[in-house]
Chains A and B, each alone.
Chain A
């Protein structure tokens, strides 16, 4: 992490070289060498304070001069037209082509004099941490993937550009419509974070529409004459039938994807007790995890795990379990709608991915059977301390235009948070079914944020969910331990808190 090669030479620690009598060690036994090495290590430590903190240097050395231009109808954000723009793209599931071929071209057309510098990486934090430390961050960042930068830390350090101006700017396609009105509800809200001084501002653009649910093969169901269950009784009855056919009814991968399952449990809880159940969890409210709806849901799913699951799945990775579904050995699998694209290579012809909403647990559920969890995926931000933050926001505005979203959808086969962009586009069966489910759910769409805000709570929930689903813990124990962790995070002053 200490990747600052420029002034390493003045960090040589004099005490380490003078300390032990190294020449004498040459002729001695291994034992003395080891002992002296240990002594050298210990001697070096008091000098710790003397060293310049390389990895952490570069505090606020004042804000860099930022480029601004004249505001106009075509340039509502006031971008300086010849200011350079640096774009960092996470080269993961969606690749980088959508940026180079679509969004950057749009920006270039709007500002022909601007120079765009494009960089794709698979390890965002590795590439960018030194840049932030040095006070020279790139304008636009796709902060995603396994090594993404902690949003909370970025917010706390005032590194993120307030996107209010972008959301209030007129959209590219219709000057009478603000950008915020072109996206699906909840997206602006999802990217809002609480700053140190207590204000809540939109900092992050979540761009890809993600719908969560339980996936099955349309072909398998058609061939067997099974119908999609909407009530719990139907669901368990169907699971019995599936089991009788020698197919594992339900399963998720415990080795690395336990969060697919807590997602199901909490989705169930939200349908049972209303979306406020999730709000309480996100806001770290006392006993939020022990709410009746959450407990009931956990109990119900623990039973599914015990009766219809497969013990060996705990040791398998998500791709292994997904492959089993492709081989028609597993009927139901919980995931988001990236699944179809992820499994493209392994899906047999005619498999036909279909999404079903989590079935209603009781007749008295607060939300209808069609209610689903949907959210924006892939976070993008603009660096507040970069040279051209207005350019970064304008880039986002172009991204959210009809042409930008349509181009994205055509390139990667996924829907964006701008519904106008995917109108009339022929999605593959899986995404088509999730988009249909999203439409059918209407206003009954909810989301949760705690795993993005508090990674530690996510980790605890994953571990506890494996314990629950594979029969080592009861629903009460499951709720207890996660609540304990939530309480610990709440009382931990070093963790930045967020509310919604």
Chain B
């Protein structure tokens, strides 16, 4: 076996690495190259050095988008993970002990399916769905009820201070189901004896959660954080379909992908859009590296 190792490994890797190089790495590299040109989508690109990046530095729309990513980056993982953890705990452990086996609350099998529903829907469909939910007039799902009972309608996507949070709400709603499943899988692998021992020592559900589940789930949490963080750098589809005036009102919900799209396809500034893409690339990489570094902690072996 020993001497055949490398041909074997290379044989397996050849195809995926080739595909990855062609469809991921090469376009990335080309975006880097275009970022230094003033290409407008037609004709030969002209090299202009760092001019695009200088422009980026003074572009208020760009900084607005970065700021929004900052907010989403803090809010989205935090809210999603807290809700998903709570649900996962209730579905798997929260029901107490039955015949030496930890079980979830009653009907947990049903809830599990329901929570996962949004994950099955395409992002664009979710955005269209929430167009109806957030609609500002009396045919909106929420505002229809509000106006019926004589309250003022809430302008989810119109009110500049509410719009971004409405978008985050959709992202959380969509994401929770997946993380419930992810955390459930993590919790299932925690040995029952540990819970039993803790319960015999008189631990309550809250103590169980914070002293047993959470520490033993640390690796999974970390992965969730990285996934959600990377998701926070995207958000394009939801913003493009759901927000008014493409990232409005007055840029209140814009994200980098939206600005890239606008520059590339509305303004025809492919070179500048690539520069934004490069900036987004480094933001994402920095985030991933930082998260992995910060959350580095001895995982508990059991």
Contact indicator per residue, chain B 266-302, by CB within 8 Å of chain A (1) or not (0) = 1111100000000001000100110010001000000
Using Cβ atoms and an 8 Å threshold, which residues of chain A touch B158? 254, 311-312, 314-315, 470
Whether the pair B42, A312 counts as a contact (CB closer than 8 A) is no
> A residues within 8 A CB of B186?
none
Residues of chain A within 8 A of B118, CB atoms compared:
none
Which residues does chain A contribute within 8 Å of B41, judged by CB atoms? 1, 125, 129, 149-150, 153
Determine, out of A47-55, A102-110, A353-361, the stretch whose residues face the partner at the interface: A47-55
Whether the pair B22, A8 counts as a contact (CB closer than 8 A) is yes
In the assembled complex, the CB of A367 is this many whole angstroms from the nearest CB of chain B, namely 30
- In Å, the complex CA distance between A12 and B44 comes to 23
Q: Is the CB of A48 within 8 A of B136?
A: no
Smallest CB separation, B179 vs chain A (Å): 15
Contacts A311-B158, A315-B157; is A35 near B30 (CB within 8 Å)? no
Closest beta carbon of chain A to B277's beta carbon, Å? 12
Within 8 A of B (CB), among A21-53: 22-23, 29-31, 34-35, 38, 40-42, 44-45, 47-49, 51, 53
- Is there contact, CB below 8 Å, between B265 and A11? no
Residues on A with beta carbons closer than 8 Å to the beta carbon of B281:
41
B21 within 8 A of A: yes
A51–B26 CB distance below 8 A: yes
Write the nearest CB–CB distance from B115 to chain A, whole angstroms. Answer: 23
Task: Report the minimum CB–CB distance from B157 to chain A (whole Å).
Answer: 5
Residues on A with C-beta less than 8 A from B153 are 312
Residues from chain B with a CB closer than 8 A to the CB of A467 are 249-250
Contact B135 A315 (CB under 8 A): yes
Chain A residues with Cβ below 8 Å from B244 are: 254-256, 314-315, 466
**B residues near A8, Cβ cutoff 8 Å:** 22, 26
Say how far B230's CB is from chain A's closest CB, in angstroms.
10
**A459 CB–B CB distance under 8 Å:** yes
In-complex Cβ contact of A53 among B13, B30, B219 (8 A): B30
CB-based contact B245/A466 at 8 Å: yes
State whether the Cβ of A2 lies closer than 8 Å to any Cβ in chain B: yes
- From the candidates B21, B22, B26, B136, name the one contacting A315 in the complex (CB within 8 A): B136
Question: When chains A and B are docked, how far (Å) is the Cα of A189 from the Cα of B51?
Answer: 35
Flag whether B109 is at the interface (Cβ < 8 A).
Answer: no
Task: Using A38-B285, A41-B285 as known contacts, say yes or no to A56 and B34 having CB atoms under 8 A apart.
Answer: yes
Binds B, one of A154-162, A332-340, A387-395: A154-162
Q: Is the CB of B42 within 8 A of A462?
A: no
Residues of chain B with a CB closer than 8 A to A320's CB:
137
- What chain B residues lie within 8 Å of A381 (beta carbons)? none
Most-contacted residue by chain A among B17, B48, B136, B285 (CB, 10 A): B136
Report chain A residues within 8 Å CB of B245: 254-256, 258, 462-463, 466
B43 surroundings in chain A (CB, below 8 A): 59, 132, 153, 156-157, 159
Residues of B within 8 A of A168 (CB): none
* Given A314-B155, A494-B38, 4 more pairs with CB closer than 8 A: A51-B33, A59-B44, A254-B158, A470-B249
Please name the 6 residue pairs, one residue from A and one from B, whose CB atoms are nearest each other, closest first: A157-B43, A150-B268, A312-B136, A315-B136, A59-B44, A255-B244
A residues touching B (Cβ–Cβ < 8 Å)? 1-2, 8-9, 11-13, 16-17, 22-23, 29-31, 34-35, 38, 40-42, 44-45, 47-49, 51, 53-56, 59-60, 125, 129, 132-133, 147, 149-150, 152-154, 156-157, 159, 254-256, 258, 310-312, 314-316, 320, 455-456, 459, 462-463, 466-467, 470, 472, 494
